[in-house]
C-alpha cells in the first residue's frame, strides 16, 4: 500500500475537500472524457449540453458546502489547485447569465444551473455517500455519455469502476512498488525496527522512487508555504463568514490579544493552547470563506496540522525547515494507513474520520520532530485518534463553520497533548493504533446516516430548533 504525501496534502479551495474540490475535479475529469476516444461515441454525434445530479451527502449539504458552485466552476475548466478564489463569483454569474459553459478546447455546451444541476436527495448511489452523475447530451436531448463519480474524501475522486478496483486492491498486494510498503501501523513499526530508519526516512525513501530528493523537498516546502499563507490570511481577516449563519470571524481579534500578551510578558498558563487554537481557527475561517487551503487530510480538518506545525516553529527553539518536512512525511504516513484501513470522509464515518484523523496525523508529526521513537510516534497517533472516536459530522446549515472551526482548534490541542503524553512514555501502550483505526471504521459503519455530513441530526438540528 502506498499513498503519496502529495495525495494526502493537496492545495485547493474551501470549504470542503469532498464537497467542493472533489466535485470540481470530477467535472474536470468528465470534460477530459468527452474529448477522449475512450467511450462509444455514435457516428456523427456531438455533445451539445451537460447535466449533473448530486446524490447522498452532496445533495443534502451541497448548497452549504458550495458543491453546486464547484460543479459549475469545474465545468468551465477551472481546477481546485489553480482557480483564483476571488474570481469564482464572476464565473458563476457568467454561466447563470448565458446558460452555457465553454471550457478551453471545447465548444460551448448548454448548461443552465437551475435546470441542469439537480440536488437529488431521494436517490443515493450505491458506491459512496458522495455520489455524482455527469451526463452529456446531443442537441436533441439524447444522452450520449453518462459517468458516475464518487468524492471519497480529501479531494479524491473515483469512478464507480475505479472504486470497485480500489476495494479489490485493498485485498491484494498491488500498487506501486516501494521499499517500505507498510499498510498498517504494525507493519510500519516492524519495518522501522528492521531497517533502523525513522518513519519519515521510510516515507521519504518511498516517495523518492518517483522523484528526486530536490523535487520532494520543494514539493513539501510548497505544501507548508500554502498552509502557512492560509494561517497568515486568516489572522488578518475580519467580518462575517458567508452562508447565512452570520458567524463572525474571531481569529484576528484573538490573535491581536495574544500578541499584546506576548509583548507584555504577562504570565498566561493557557498560552500554548491559545496559540494553537487561533492558528487552527484562522485556517478554518479561511476555508469556510472559500479561500486557498490544503487538504490535511480534508478541508473540514485543514486547520489541525498547520496549527501544530506553526506551534512547533513558534515554541521550539530547534525547529527548522527540515523538521517541517519530517513532520509532513510522518503525518502523511499515518494518514495513508488510516485512509487505507478506514476512511477520512465525514460522509462515510463522521468527523472522527476528518478531525480525528487530522489530530492523529498531527500528533505523529509533532512527536517525530520532537525526537520520538517510531513506537512513541505510533502511540501519539493512537492517543489522538482514540479520543475522537464516535465524533459525528453535523455541520449547522450544511456549512463548514459550526462546529467545524472550533473543532479544529480542539483537534490541534488534543494532538499536542497526545504527543506530549507519548513522549513521556517508552512507546509501550495498551491500545495499538491499528485497533483504534479499525474501531473508527466499525463505528462509522454503525453510525446513523443523519450524523454523517447530511445535516439531518446532531447540532445541525438542535441549534436551529433552539
Main-chain dihedrals φ then ψ at residue 159, nearest 5 degrees: -80, 175
Q: Which helix (H) or strand (E) holds 8?
A: helix 5-8
64 SS3 class: helix
> Minimal CA–CA distance to 411: which of 307, 293, 270?
307
What is the model's pLDDT at position 168?
A: 80
| Cα–Cα distance measured from residue 121 to residue 398, given in angstroms and rounded to the nearest whole number | 14
Can you read off the three cell numbers belonging to residue 185?
501501523
| Cα–Cα distance measured from residue 77 to residue 91, given in angstroms and rounded to the nearest whole number | 11
What is the model's pLDDT at position 327?
A: 98
169: pLDDT strictly greater than 90? no
Question: Whose grid coordinates read 510522518?
Answer: 330
| Cα–Cα distance measured from residue 411 to residue 399, given in angstroms and rounded to the nearest whole number | 19
Quickly count: other Cβ atoms within 10 Å of residue 117's Cβ: 20
Share of the chain above pLDDT 70, in %: 98
As a whole number, mean pLDDT of residues 287-316 equals 96
What is the model's pLDDT at position 464?
A: 65
Average pLDDT, the chain: 95
What is the model's pLDDT at position 69?
A: 96
Confidence of residue 10 (pLDDT cuts 50, 70, 90): very high
- Decide: 307 and 283 in contact? Cβ < 8 Å: yes
138: pLDDT strictly greater than 90? yes
- Decide: 356 and 309 in contact? Cβ < 8 Å: no
As a whole number, mean pLDDT of residues 367-374 equals 98
As a whole number, mean pLDDT of residues 275-293 equals 97
Main-chain dihedrals φ then ψ at residue 283, nearest 5 degrees: -65, -45
- Decide: 213 and 394 in contact? Cβ < 8 Å: no
> Minimal CA–CA distance to 340: which of 190, 149, 156?
156
Express each pLDDT in 184-195 by its tens digit.
Answer: 999 999 999 999
Express each pLDDT in 30-45 by its tens digit.
Answer: 999 999 999 999 998 9
| Cα–Cα distance measured from residue 210 to residue 17, given in angstroms and rounded to the nearest whole number | 25
What is the model's pLDDT at position 269?
A: 78
Share of the chain above pLDDT 90, in %: 92
Domains and CATH numbers, the chain: 17-168 (3.30.1330.90), 178-465 (no CATH)
- Decide: 297 and 340 in contact? Cβ < 8 Å: no
Can you read off the three cell numbers belonging to residue 422?
507519548
DSSP 310-366: HHHHHH-TT--HHHHHHHHHHHHHHHHHHHHHS---HHHH-GGGTHHHHHHHHHHHH
As a whole number, mean pLDDT of residues 190-201 equals 98
Can you read off the three cell numbers belonging to residue 345?
470522509
As a whole number, mean pLDDT of residues 213-226 equals 98
> CA Rg, the chain, in Å?
22
- Decide: 124 and 449 in contact? Cβ < 8 Å: no
Q: Which residues contact 119 (CB under 8 A, 6 or more apart)?
A: 53, 54, 58, 59, 62, 63, 68
Express each pLDDT in 260-279 by its tens digit.
Answer: 988 887 777 788 899 999 99
For residue 49, the cross-strand partners are 110, 137
What is the model's pLDDT at position 19?
A: 95
What is the model's pLDDT at position 466?
A: 45
What is the model's pLDDT at position 166?
A: 84
Q: Which residues contact 13 (CB under 8 A, 6 or more apart)?
A: 20, 21, 80, 83, 85, 88, 290, 291, 292, 293
What is the model's pLDDT at position 172?
A: 62
Number of residues that this document lists for the chain: 466
- Decide: 398 and 119 in contact? Cβ < 8 Å: no
What is the model's pLDDT at position 174?
A: 58
pTM: 0.92
- For the ranges 39-48, 407-416, 441-450, the lowest mean pLDDT is seen at 39-48
Task: Report the first-to-last Cα separation within the chain, whole angstroms.
Answer: 47
- Decide: 47 and 137 in contact? Cβ < 8 Å: yes
228: pLDDT strictly greater than 70? yes
What is the model's pLDDT at position 132?
A: 98
Express each pLDDT in 389-403 by its tens digit.
Answer: 999 999 999 999 999
Can you read off the three cell numbers belonging to residue 38?
475512450
As a whole number, mean pLDDT of residues 319-348 equals 97
Can you read off the three cell numbers belonging to residue 437?
483505526
Angle, CA of 277, 281 and 284, to the nearest 5°: 145
Amino acid at each position: 500500500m502506498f499513498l503519496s504525501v502529495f495525495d494526502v496534502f493537496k492545495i485547493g479551495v474551501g470549504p470542503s475537500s469532498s464537497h467542493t474540490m472533489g466535485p470540481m475535479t470530477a467535472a474536470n475529469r468528465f470534460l477530459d472524457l468527452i474529448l477522449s476516444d475512450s467511450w462509444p461515441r455514435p457516428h456523427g454525434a456531438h455533445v451539445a449540453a451537460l447535466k449533473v445530479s448530486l446524490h447522498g451527502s452532496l445533495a443534502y449539504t451541497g448548497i452549504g458546502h458550495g458543491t453546486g458552485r464547484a460543479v459549475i466552476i469545474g465545468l468551465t475548466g477551472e481546477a481546485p489547485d489553480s482557480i483564483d478564489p476571488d474570481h469564482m463569483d464572476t464565473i458563476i454569474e457568467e454561466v447563470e447569465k448565458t446558460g452555457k459553459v465553454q471550457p478551453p478546447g471545447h465548444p460551448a455546451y448548454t448548461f443552465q444551473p437551475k435546470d441542469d444541476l439537480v440536488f437529488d436527495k431521494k436517490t443515493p448511489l450505491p458506491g459512496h455517500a458522495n455520489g455524482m452523475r455527469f451526463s452529456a447530451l446531443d442537441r436533441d436531448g439524447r444522452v450520449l455519455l453518462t459517468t458516475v463519480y464518487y468524492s471519497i474524501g480529501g479531494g479524491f475522486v473515483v469512478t464507480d469502476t475505479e472504486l470497485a478496483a480500489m476495494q479489490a486492491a485493498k485485498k491484494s498486494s498491488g500498487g506501486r512498488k516501494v521499499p517500505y510498503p507498510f499498510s498498517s501501523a504494525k507493519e510500519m513499526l516492524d519495518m522501522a525496527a528492521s531497517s533502523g530508519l525513522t518513519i519519515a526516512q521510510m516515507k521519504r525513501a518511498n516517495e523518492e522512487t518517483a522523484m528526486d530528493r530536490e523535487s520532494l523537498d520543494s514539493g513539501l516546502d510548497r505544501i507548508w508555504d500554502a498552509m502557512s499563507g492560509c494561517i497568515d490570511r486568516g489572522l488578518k481577516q475580519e467580518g462575517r463568514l458567508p452562508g447565512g449563519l452570520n458567524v463572525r470571524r474571531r481569529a484576528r481579534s484573538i490573535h491581536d490579544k495574544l500578541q499584546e500578551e506576548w509583548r507584555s510578558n504577562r504570565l498566561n498558563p493557557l498560552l500554548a493552547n491559545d496559540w494553537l487554537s487561533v492558528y487552527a481557527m484562522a485556517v478554518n475561517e479561511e476555508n469556510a470563506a472559500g479561500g486557498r487551503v490544503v487538504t490535511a487530510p480534508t478541508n473540514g480538518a485543514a486547520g489541525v496540522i498547520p496549527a501544530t506545525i506553526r506551534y512547533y516553529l513558534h515554541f521550539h527553539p530547534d525547529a527548522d525547515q527540515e523538521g517541517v518536512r519530517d513532520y509532513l512525511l510522518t503525518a502523511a504516513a499515518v494518514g495513508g494507513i488510516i485512509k487505507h484501513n478506514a476512511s477520512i470522509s465525514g460522509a462515510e464515518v463522521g468527523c472522527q474520520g476528518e478531525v480525528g484523523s487530522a489530530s492523529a496525523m498531527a500528533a505523529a508529526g509533532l512527536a517525530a520532530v520532537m525526537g520520538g521513537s517510531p513506537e512513541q510516534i505510533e502511540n501519539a497517533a493512537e492517543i489522538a485518534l482514540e479520543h475522537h472516536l464516535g465524533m459525528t459530522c453535523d455541520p449547522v446549515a450544511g456549512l463548514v463553520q459550526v462546529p467545524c472551526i472550533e473543532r479544529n482548534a480542539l483537534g490541534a490541542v488534543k494532538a499536542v497533548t497526545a504527543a506530549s503524553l507519548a513522549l513521556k512514555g517508552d512507546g509501550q501502550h495498551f491500545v495499538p493504533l491499528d485497533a483504534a483505526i479499525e474501531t473508527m471504521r466499525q463505528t462509522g459503519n454503525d453510525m446513523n446516516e443523519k450524523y454523517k455530513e447530511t445535516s439531518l441530526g446532531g447540532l445541525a438540528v438542535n441549534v436551529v430548533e433552539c
